[in-house]
Amino acid sequence: MIIVLRPDATEKQVNHLVAKIKSLGLKPWVSKGVERTIIGVIGEEDIIRVQPLEVFPGVERVLQILKPYKLASRDFKKEDSVIDVGGGVKVGSKKLVVMAGPCSVESEKLLIDIARKVKKAGATVLRGGAFKPRTSPYAFQGLGVQGLKYLAQAKKETGLRIITELMDIRDLDTVLKYTDIIQIGARNMQNFNLLKEVGKTKRPVLLKRGMANTIKELLMSAEYVLSEGNFSVILCERGIRTFEDATRFTLDITAVPVIKNLSHLPVVVDPSHATGKWGLVGPCAKAGIAAGADGLIIEVHPKPEEAMSDGEQSLVPANFEKLMKEIEKIAEAIGRTL
């Protein structure tokens, strides 16, 4: 349910209504827009329906949200959400955000070298995996805490914000010490206990779509984070598994405008994991921006042939710099900046 307040509703009236909602054992979420303040009410539908909330002072109208995802929907919030990840970087604003770096953190020297090069090209967030989910148990699993420390040092030297993946609830407190954005990978999109725990933090979360999940399921997973009070959620389209085997996954470009229509949350595209081939990263990155994505997350490595993971889909710094110049032109054409 959504309670739409009148433009002249006072803070006292809002607080009175919130107190009433809480007294019923329901969860109120207040969203202050440009023209209206609305209150989303989450809880037992039978309790909500019988409450005469329309009669409260300051209330203009009460609406039912028919979609199963309440807080993530456009019904709850009409305006696009802009997620502030610190350092002046805001995902969902007119300025596009590019996150770039190696698939896995391999060494401090290499990471800082990559960080400097992607920043020079225009990236504002450094990506790098310290804990790596791998299909094979014998593949490189990441450097763990040492990798996080290398990321922190790279941030200190370059000023880039940091995004890294969280795989296990037990590592949450440690990851929070080092990262600006918590990445929830495709394999953990429906790890609901993990989602609830990151929801209890106020740290920005990048939630990747599962390789066999629908857009509705992605939004329902985002709802787990939102329902715990963390509204700093960024959605990521990274390709889904289809019958096609020419690419690693099938990048669902249509997901970008579809999500934008259904949800207020920002969307970024991951062309590296979607295609699995460095030669396809550029075209798909540009397609994502043209479709309305708020940013990109791209893998970059100076020697892909020596990378400890996903070298085949990593761009060398020179190609990344070239791509950024091309993306800048597309951004300009659709009224955005890089």
What's the CATH number where 167 sits?
Answer: 3.20.20.70
User: 180 to each of 163, 173, 208, 235, how far by Cα in Å?
Assistant: 6, 13, 16, 16
User: Can you give the pLDDT at residue 224?
Assistant: 96
Domain shared by 258 and 211, yes or no: yes
Tokens coding 301: 């490595």
Domain shared by 131 and 168, yes or no: yes
- 73 within some domain: no
User: Can you give the pLDDT at residue 41?
Assistant: 85
Helix (H, G, I), strand (E, B) or coil at 114: helix
Measure the CA–CA gap between 220 and 215, rounded to whole angstroms.
9
- 9 within some domain: yes
User: Can you give the pLDDT at residue 8?
Assistant: 87
Work out how many domains the chain is built from and give that number: 2
Per-residue pLDDT of the chain (338 residues; tens, 9 = 90+): 788 898 888 889 999 989 988 888 888 888 877 777 888 888 776 676 677 788 888 998 888 777 889 899 998 888 999 999 999 999 999 999 999 999 999 999 999 999 999 999 999 999 999 886 656 665 666 788 999 999 999 999 999 999 999 999 999 999 999 999 999 999 999 999 999 999 999 999 999 999 999 999 999 999 999 999 899 999 999 999 999 999 999 999 999 999 999 999 999 999 999 999 999 999 999 999 999 999 999 999 999 999 888 899 999 999 999 999 999 999 999 999 99
Tokens coding 324: 């950024």
Where do the H-state alpha helices sit in 83-240?
Answer: 108-121, 145-158, 172-176, 192-200, 215-227
Strands (E), 166-294: 181-184, 205-208, 233-237, 267-269
- 239 within some domain: yes
User: Can you give the pLDDT at residue 187?
Assistant: 94
User: Can you give the pLDDT at residue 141?
Assistant: 64
- 78 within some domain: no
- 208 within some domain: yes
Quick one: residue 159, left, alpha or beta (phi over 0 = left, psi -120 to 50 = alpha)? left
Beta bridge partners of 205: 182, 233
Measure the CA–CA gap between 306 and 311, rounded to whole angstroms.
7
For position 46, which CATH number holds?
3.30.70.1140
State which residues form the domain around 53: 2-63
